[in-house]
Structure 1
């Protein structure tokens, strides 16, 4: 981003009595390609073409390979590199701009797909590892920039809705990719365990090559036009050194440190790929890769509806979302353990002609996907309410995705071994999820949302004496900055 973005004018003080007046504000006529909806489509399209199709291959179980171990090793490399690039993606995107960061974040994906094709058809292994390196570097930049756009561009009151649009596009990749895979791998010859038809990968390579030019359609944050007339706040640092210093400051914050366990636990479950390889035929793996995405979409829709519900204060939505996610994970992992123990005792090889056995195994993947997506949506929403500055939000998104990536790297590494019955990866996942509950609750308990919908805040103030007392205080731009840095605690808002 250009240095001119650092000179954002000082915001006027906001008083509760002026909140209602915002309803009478009439924003200027907007240009369609600068709107938040258009930019949501851009970020969604790139997510559809790049990581979406990557997920389509991953959902086949080990990228469609006959054995999961080489691909799991490659994916461990992908996510290890991705973790570092995610972490530093915020400073990079703040200096070179989000559109160029997003573009660079898409160029490595087709190389990875090409590596899987060569391995599947010719037994070539080195290109899989080269593709893993290029994909890991690109993916780190992609996720840091994508998360920033998905959370920072929309109006605060519509954040859940736009996260859902973003997810619909990104899940569209596995859906379309899964349909392609299912169409090419549905015959009777795919009733046994094995590998995917190699022609499948050529379609993915062609589609993923389109992602990089589409990324350049993204508007700079300072030019985005929201429907409520508010501006995307940009306060980029003046140099890379200053950016990295700001990143280090965020990394040391108590609330961020408390959230590290849940960042790791959220996406540690990469055993699901091994599970499908161990217990399902090729065409059932293709079917799971397609149909399993509907669980992800349904989960996102439900949690996003809750997080955008204007009848509750933002803090209350976050709390209810947290408890909802816990219940989902208890159900999913209890069921997963029951089925895994059954399969450990008597390993099956299900085809969809085995109706009862196929359904019980399929629901393990469905419940894992459903609970995992609810947790990710909740975490993104929670992080987005910590700041109204998109430059700082890019650092938050980079830390979140970076830690998730490190967790996935370790998880893929763990799953390069053929553990008896999958008990070791399942146990590690369960322990991580349990250890994350208390620190996450502590971070949530002390959290004060920086951004809230103005009209919803006014309604809350009328219905609650406590909310009215908070809303009646003056909140200056300097105090907002303190809130964003975690320096202001409950009861100190508005004090000089």
Structure 2
């Protein structure tokens, strides 16, 4: 992943406490950037940017996710993958998240070895094949192809999301990680919002039946563009921040060194397992919200409208939490604890409202009967039937963004190392996908809607109990540079020339 050719025999030089103080500033400009088009500056809104800068690379990976998983979310948000019977999507998603869970656990090793560019590009391919399988299903009911496409997408998504997470939490400086996460989440969810407008427009007059072929074709084209866009990124070893510092990586990574790094992540930070329940619970609620609420109780065009509102609300949630997590007037430890309290309050307020709505709904057997007497809700049915669940669905979307933004920020607050970030993200996506696989399978087994709701809410609340010690005791106001350099072959001079200059001045004095 790195582009250095230096020997890996160097060891980190000692760093003085003042050199690690983030409030230290140095006189004069940051070290000059290397020659080449990647580092040639251009100005946007009064700020100088360059191609291999963190913000430009984040924007590009956000656009990849806008076009690939963003469109996937728009398709999934329709409930049942746009079909009437959710069985094909349930089986495909069970296969998807099963392979995702296995691949993602080791995908940090793969991303560190191959580089984020290749990892992202290969990861994007599975999305267009997944959408194509539903287009095929519209005509030939080929259930096997849909399940295969889901399994293949699991492999691809494991790689894509680990590369994305590495970029999002290791590229930005410590005081801007919340904003970078929110920038990504805004752009990514704009993909789902715009993608959801496609089926809304094409199915505006449709109250029943699957979505049209044109809907699937639109998704396929956009997803394919995303896979090609990933090839235009640069690898992490070329990225240089505003202060001249680089992302911490292994100089000469191999599968052997990266598997060793995966093991070292566990041994050096065993407390990370306390975050695993939070990882596990982070996608389980999609099954209930998309299939057991939206698809089960609303007609085709209303599902499409709900879908648009859900992903739009994600943008609001990500913006609020992303900027709040970077609030400069409070220490990072205080912000971490405040965000945790906010998650606890939202978990009981929003899901408590969801419980009040869910207990009044019909059972799965009534909602899915072949000739149902049950009238699925249309947006014209008035305030009592539609407005209340519409706002509930909006708050579900905001809650999802808040949960995901906080998890990424917590991981970013625990390390600034690109290598460790890849491993943390691999754990996150792997365990997240295991949870999703379990819940898609439960839905495939046609468990009662009340059971699906209760299991989702209970796991979210329980996960917060396990995560509390990490958030309260392990997140610090800053991560010392020498802590991030442990178990790598990078030195201070490699990754932080600005810090090195401060250290040299202190030694001169």
Seen in structure 2, the aligned counterparts of structure 1 residues 476 and 390 have a Cα distance that, compared at 3 Å, is closer
1-structure distance, mates of 2:180, 2:13: 26
Seen in structure 2, the aligned counterparts of structure 1 residues 228 and 107 have a Cα distance that, compared at 3 Å, is same
Task: Count the aligned residue pairs.
Answer: 456
Tell me which residue corresponds to 2:438. Answer: 410
Q: Which moved more, 1:216-225 or 1:299-308?
A: 216-225
Tell me which residue corresponds to 1:341. Answer: 359
CA RMSD of aligned residues (A): 2.2
Tell me which residue corresponds to 1:441. Answer: 468
1-structure distance, mates of 2:66, 2:375: 34
Describe the SS at the equivalent of 1:344. Answer: coil
Match of 1:15 among 14, 17, 23: 17
Tell me how far 1:417 sits from its aligned partner: 3.1
2-structure distance, mates of 1:296, 1:97: 29
Equivalence map 1:225-374=2 (5 Å): 225-235=240-250, 238-251=253-266, 253-269=269-285, 270-274=287-291, 275-344=293-362, 348-356=375-383, 357-374=385-402
Asked whether the equivalents of residues 109 and 259 of structure 2 are also in contact (C-alpha less than 8 Å), the reply is: yes
Asked whether the equivalents of residues 7 and 235 of structure 1 are also in contact (C-alpha less than 8 Å), the reply is: no
Match of 1:203 among 218, 221, 232: 218
Asked whether the equivalents of residues 108 and 134 of structure 1 are also in contact (C-alpha less than 8 Å), the reply is: yes
Seen in structure 2, the aligned counterparts of structure 1 residues 448 and 358 have a Cα distance that, compared at 3 Å, is closer
Tell me which residue corresponds to 2:486. Answer: 481
Describe the SS at the equivalent of 1:10. Answer: coil
2-structure distance, mates of 1:139, 1:19: 35
Asked whether the equivalents of residues 121 and 198 of structure 1 are also in contact (C-alpha less than 8 Å), the reply is: no
Tell me which residue corresponds to 2:151. Answer: 133
Asked whether the equivalents of residues 109 and 208 of structure 1 are also in contact (C-alpha less than 8 Å), the reply is: yes
TM-score under structure 2 length normalisation:
0.85
Asked whether the equivalents of residues 166 and 422 of structure 2 are also in contact (C-alpha less than 8 Å), the reply is: yes
Asked whether the equivalents of residues 315 and 449 of structure 1 are also in contact (C-alpha less than 8 Å), the reply is: yes
- Asked if 1:428 is matched to 2:461, the reply is no
Equivalence map 1:383-398=2 (5 Å): 383-398=411-426
Tell me how far 1:149 sits from its aligned partner: 0.6
Tell me how far 1:54 sits from its aligned partner: 0.4
Tell me which residue corresponds to 1:458. Answer: none
Tell me how far 1:246 sits from its aligned partner: 2.0
Tell me how far 1:132 sits from its aligned partner: 0.9
2-structure distance, mates of 1:35, 1:8: 26
- Asked if 1:220 is matched to 2:235, the reply is yes
Asked whether the equivalents of residues 332 and 477 of structure 2 are also in contact (C-alpha less than 8 Å), the reply is: no
Tell me which residue corresponds to 2:498. Answer: none
TM-score under structure 1 length normalisation:
0.87
Tell me how far 1:120 sits from its aligned partner: 2.0
Cα distance per residue 1:231-287 (max 9 Å; x no partner)? 211136743123112212324543211111111122111111221111101001111
- Asked if 1:93 is matched to 2:105, the reply is no
Seen in structure 2, the aligned counterparts of structure 1 residues 182 and 11 have a Cα distance that, compared at 3 Å, is farther
Match of 1:121 among 139, 154, 158: 139
Tell me which residue corresponds to 1:461. Answer: none
2-structure distance, mates of 1:157, 1:14: 21
Tell me how far 1:23 sits from its aligned partner: 5.5
- Asked if 1:26 is matched to 2:29, the reply is yes
Asked whether the equivalents of residues 299 and 371 of structure 1 are also in contact (C-alpha less than 8 Å), the reply is: yes
Asked whether the equivalents of residues 94 and 236 of structure 1 are also in contact (C-alpha less than 8 Å), the reply is: no
Describe the SS at the equivalent of 2:360. Answer: helix
2-structure distance, mates of 1:287, 1:255: 42
Unpaired runs of at least 5, structure 1 = 453-474, 483-496
2-structure distance, mates of 1:99, 1:398: 16
Unpaired runs of at least 5, structure 2 = 34-38, 41-49, 367-373, 488-509
